[in-house]
Structure 1
Amino acid sequence: MLKIAHSPDADDAYMFYGIAVGAVKLPAPFVEFLSDIETLNRLALEELLDVTAISAHALAYICNKYFVMSVGASMGDGYGPVVVARSEVAEPKYVAVPGRFTTAALLTRLALPRARAVELPFDKILNAVAAGIVDAGVLIHEGQITYERYGLKKVLDLGEWWRQETGLPTPLGLDVVRKALGREMAERITEALRESIQYADSHREEALRYAQKFARGLSLEETARFVNMYVNKYTRDMGEVGRRAVRELLERAREAAGAPDCFPEFV
């Protein structure tokens, strides 16, 4: 029984739509587990999941245990997690991040080296910033397009910063398969996810309405906007540019954060 996990967010829900409605079959029976990305990162560290979404940063710590799927990646094409603050904050000292192993936390460390990271659950960061508990916060998921409702301002788009630094898309999330399952099984699972995304694309309205259930208050139009941001050409096929972006992030994680060496294997 395969243990498959992803985050309960609109982009992941869209990608898994074909599998969720039974239109696409996985190569083995499975159970599904949904949780926030930092929880999935930490479960993958212990090799407790067979197939899972993870943060690209977390790959550095599980590189010898998991293949990276060539589909399913969440990459910002010149955009990414947004650092927000209250209007009166000039230079934030304490910045909330959604978990140590998230890519958002790594990018914050790279782009704002003088800031002190404070780990909070991703869905508590907006309120913590608005209440003045922290100076600023890094928003992932739908918070990237709703923060103005809280009267907050954008300090920095980390995807814009990464593009200026590297010229590459921002590798935020990846889907991985446990190497113990074998390369052949990993390739079959990868193909199933590819077909699931293709099914969602060909049944877009239904897939977006399904994804909206995981969008935490977004309208259908806002859900479509968010899905378009993170289910893009790199999701459908990471390609060489996407692989270069992953390798560049891992190298910077090693240099700046002391992460282990990682030479990812893609399927």
Structure 2
Amino acid sequence: MIAIPGGGFWMGSPDREAERKDGEDPQHRVNLSPFWMGKYPVTQAQWMEVAAFPKVELELKPQPSCFSGLDRPVELISWHEAVEFCARLARQTGKEYRLPSEAEWEYACRAGTFTPFSFGETITTDLANFDGRSIYGSGSKGEYRKQTTPVGTFKANAFGLYDMHGNVWEWCEDRWHENYTGAPAGGTPWNEGKGSSRVLRGGSWYYPPRLCRSAFRDWDFPEGRNDLCGFRVACSPARNSS
């Protein structure tokens, strides 16, 4: 886990950002308390260990992933299963493990940056795992690996977090909303609303770089499960974690 300092940031994308979507509006100020964030997406090795803990509400398959590798991110994970993982880990450790809020996720991804990616105005396949047959901005074409890569293959952002762009989509706690009108300003999960769909962030190995931007947001049904989706854990308050 990496200690993420509290602070404020502008969530969403500015009007000038290339290939931005309406769902990234309105850009708004969010102030967050310190929290802890997983250094990597949850790996298959970590998943297997926690899946062996006693059930809280759901059964968990010990080896659900399509792309085998203990150091690869676990995928084929639904939102419900990610929540179950966090619940088992919390009960086992006595710490408040959970999914990050969408605001926490974007704040951690940006790591103090204002650019489309935490690495700058564009991104290459030397920095992240995505479909390199497409480019973003002034970037160049690169590799399309057609699968996940071991966590930590590429360099970390300024907070020390790996794979925030690409590799696997990451579930957040929040319900999906079409835009940020009425979004909370304190970084807490936005769970008001009637829909059951949940937020996904970060892009994946399968998608072009525009979907890997720090501000890009997507969704799936909470029971949705495919080889593009994994998650990482958060923990709060920071003073109770290690």
**What TM-score do the two structures reach when normalised by structure 2?**
0.28
Normalized per residue, the structure richer in helix is 1
Quick one: higher RCO (CA 8 Å, sep 6+), 1 or 2? 1
